[in-house]
Amino acid sequence: MNNLQNIVFNLLSKSKQKFDFQHIHLFLLGEHGGDALRNTLAVILPGLILFYFGFLDQAIMIGLGALFAALTDLPGNRKDKVRSSLWTIPLFGITAFITASAIAIPIVLILWLMMAAFVFTMISIYGGRFAAMGLMGLILVTFTVGLWPADPLTYALYIALGVFWYFLISVLQVLLFPYRSLRYAIADSFYRMAVMLKNKAQFYDENVPLEKAYKELGALHLQVSEQQENVRNLLLREKRLTNSSSDISEYWIKQGVGVTDLYELLAALDHDYDSIRKLLAPLRVLESIRALILLLSEEVDFLSRESAGNLPVTKRHTKEAEIAQIMRKLSAEFETLSGEEAQVLGATIRNSRSIIACIGRIRLVLNRQDTQQSVYGQYSYSRYIARAPRGVSALRNQFSFRTAVFPFALRLALMFGIGGSIGLLLPEYHYTYWILITLVVVARPGFANTNIRNAQRIIGTLVGVLLGSLLLLLISSPVVLLLLAVCGLFGFFFFNRINYMLSVLCLTPGIIIALHVYEGNMVDILGSRIVFTLIGSLLALAGWFFIPVRQSKSLKKLAADVVDRAEEYRELVQQKISCVDVDANDLRLARKMAHGALAAFSSAMDQVRREPGAKRWNWRRLYTFHSLAYRANSLMIGLSVAAAEVGNEQDAMALLPRTAFVDALHADLMKLSTEL
């Protein structure tokens, strides 16, 4: 594999969600494919109709409004969609009017660009939907600068009309299919857990260093944790489900419980992996356990396909026969053992049976055949919801260089002022606004994300320019070219949340083709796309050095949070083992908080590793803390599962050695956190 291939592979793997081409049909038939098709049709249909009747300018403006609205529309429930529409329609209309009015006066335009960049960045503190609105609001500002509309009011009205048209479709869709986002979120959660389980098979391979396996598990844990939070927010904020005891309510809540329970079992561990390898390697059962885990990962993957509605799972699809065969082999080996080897292998067999049983319960729920499980009244739903900040006071509290959003907003405002000034100094070039667009989509608070995003945009743009040029050289029919541009738009929507580089690669040929058909100056379009994209990328990178947001400042605090949340979880588990009456909601919330703290530390550590000056950190110590935290967390979850089965003092006494081992790990964790 040559250097270019290595670069591309690394960029693909560092995307927010690594794209698995083996599962492309799940994406095409799932929410990504459906949303991409809906968004593409919403953007082009009004344009085609208006263009047919000779209203080209109106077609462009309404299409842009629909495009910007589509990119703000994150998965959500009915209330989310309606609230987004009520905010976005007036916000984008007013933004379009102010920008179009300011264009005529250069100094006013520069000041407005800086103010818009600052304000639209600051509103991201109110959650993902407002962050998306702010991002696309800035994109609207930059496109307006490029279009230079003659009539600001008419332009603003058509943009608002395009936004309204898109949200009309989106709200109608969520009214007809109210639990669509929830269904795909649950399916995605199962898929990510299947990937995580496949990774855990490495721990039973003596040729794979444990430190390497823990590093990979950390990245996967972050993805699974984010998706678990997504499922909780979609499920528990839907009051029609949480405030009802209907069959449909029970069906979705049972699915949500199944996701959480399965994650707990997959993360649980009764013995440390060092001990497992040391004790079980001489018995030659590690390979069988690894094969069992890989088969279980396929079973969880089947749950993903079934819950998304893409595959009716039958006996022909499942791996039940192969799993049963390995379980019989391990059970037979267990009968011949005694001492520590018997304890470790017995725990592995017991955990595997629990996972198999949980998969079976989930499958019964998916097939609507579950009659035993009851979830009504068992959960305090509101306590599990992560709520975004509200009110002016929340915004006021962010005005400090100790936060990430305030210095980033200042940086982006300054870069917008510089980028806008470059555009005004080069009036003979039509596409200088691409500098601003690049700044919006590339610049991120942290250096690592900005750097990765920069490389993804540059590579996607260069490859897209080559592809677009090739298509223009080979194809002369405007109709065929425009159809290819529509395909590029679909690809952009499809890959937008999956892989940014691929989305740019799809969009760039579409833009080049559309502008060529509309304006006909291919050389100017190609040169401007490359040059102004590079200028915007350089500005985004240089801006970090001028006003940096260093993740390293928060790393020690995040490590302390990992220890504190682990201690709270440990105390509740020990109370449970001691037969103290512990609220099940408290235990689940403590586990959730411990997971969240660990995921936040993993993310920050990955960012710090790519920041300038990263070498000053003791990375061996950081990785030791990281892997130790995961070991302690997994063993604690295993203890929590075992604590649920404690019925008497004898059961509690049997868990004392495991409790003592976890206590020792926690003490080491506390000591390491003070030495980072």
Helix axes of 128-147 and 152-176: crossing angle, nearest 10 degrees:
150
pLDDT tens digits for range 445-503: 888 888 888 888 888 888 988 898 888 888 888 888 888 888 988 988 888 877 888 88
- Mean pLDDT of the residues in the chain: 84
Backbone phi, psi, residue 87, to 5°? -85, -45
Give the pair of three-digit tokens for residue 441: 């989509």
SS (H, E, C) 4-72: HHHHHHHHHHCCCCCCCHHHHHHHHHCHHHHHHHHHHHHHHHHHHHHHHCCCHHHHHHHHHHHHHHHCC
Query: CB of 188 within 8 A of CB of 227?
Result: yes
Least confident of 176-185, 237-246, 490-499, 534-543: 237-246
Q: Looking at residue 9, what is its pLDDT?
A: 38
**Alpha helix (H) ranges present in 369-477?**
391-396, 405-425, 433-442, 447-474
Q: Which range among 74-78, 182-186, 214-218, 254-258 shows the weakest confidence by mean pLDDT?
A: 214-218
Q: Region 570-575: what's the mean pLDDT?
A: 88
The pLDDT value given to residue 26: 56
> By the 8 A CB rule, do 119 and 416 touch?
no
Q: What is the reported pLDDT for 85?
A: 94
CA distances from 82 to 141, 169, 321 (A): 24, 11, 48
**Confidence band (pLDDT; 50, 70, 90) for 3?**
very low
Pick from 72-81, 409-418, 549-558 the range whose average pLDDT is largest: 409-418
| Cα(148)–Cα(31) distance, integer angstroms | 36
Query: Ranked by mean pLDDT, which of 187-196, 210-219, 429-438, 443-452 comes out on top?
Result: 187-196
pLDDT digits (tens, 9 = 90+) for 604-662: 888 888 888 888 888 888 888 988 898 888 888 888 888 777 767 777 787 888 888 88
Q: Read off the DSSP letter of residue 388.
A: P
Measured CA to CA, the distance from residue 477 to residue 480 in angstroms comes to 5
Residue with structure tokens 């400042």? 553
* pLDDT value for 508: 87
How many of the other CB atoms lie within 10 Å of CB of 360? Answer: 13
| Contact of 625 with 669, CB cutoff 8 Å | yes
CA dihedral 351, 357, 361, 362 (to 10 degrees): 50
From the list 264, 273, 295, the residue with the least C-alpha distance to 344 is 273
pLDDT tens digits, 297-331: 999 998 888 888 755 555 556 788 899 999 999 99
The distance of Cα 196 from the centroid of its chain, to the nearest Å, equals 15
Structure tokens at 426: 């080069």
Confidence grade of residue 146 (pLDDT, cut at 50, 70, 90): confident
Stated pTM of the model: 0.84
The identity of residue 243, as a single letter, is N
Distance from C-alpha of 495 to C-alpha of 445, rounded to nearest angstrom: 23
Residue 24 pLDDT: 54
Structure tokens at 42: 């919403």
Q: Where would I find the H helices in 177-336?
A: 180-200, 210-236, 239-242, 247-267, 273-280, 286-307, 320-335
Report, in angstroms and rounded to the nearest whole number, the Rg of the chain calculated over CA atoms. 27
Closest CA to 213 of 223, 195, 201: 201
